[in-house]
Amino acid sequence: MSTLTAERCAACRRGAPRLTEEEIAALRPQVPDWQIMARDGILRLERAFTFPNFAEALAFTHRVGELAEAEGHHPAILTEWGRVTVSWWTHKIGGLHRNDFIMAAKTDERYAQEPEVAIA
């Protein structure tokens, strides 16, 4: 289990430092299924989760939304038939912050709690 899941997101202000390459490399092993993507010049953590149907994908989307609300940190979520793609980055700094890795780990933990019908 990731130690990140025990952490809470810290309030992040505009201008706070983004994670360095070394910090990202140190955190990556705790969220190995996430990809680091650059979109519009902004680094993000992104992972697609699969489900056997739309209803379960939508239910997972809702649970990720609940996690986001509880932490005050919100992702981009794309819900499709049998698939949910979640992207974490910190909007205020235009890049990755420790909060994004915390939330990726919590999203993984939530997915692991899904019913047996979820497809890894």
**How far apart are alpha carbons 116 and 110 in whole angstroms?**
13
Please determine, for residue 120, whether its predicted confidence score (pLDDT) is greater than 70. Answer: no
- Per residue in 34-72, pLDDT (tens digit) is 999 999 999 999 999 999 999 999 999 999 999 999 999
Report the CATH number that the domain containing residue 47 is assigned in CATH. 3.30.1360.20
DSSP β-bridge partners for residue 35: 46
Residues of the domain holding 92: 35-120
When pLDDT is cut at 50, 70 and 90, the band that residue 13 belongs to is: confident
Residue 26 φ/ψ, nearest 5 degrees? -70, -30
When pLDDT is cut at 50, 70 and 90, the band that residue 2 belongs to is: low
Domain-embedded: residue 68 = yes
Q: What is the pTM of this model?
A: 0.90
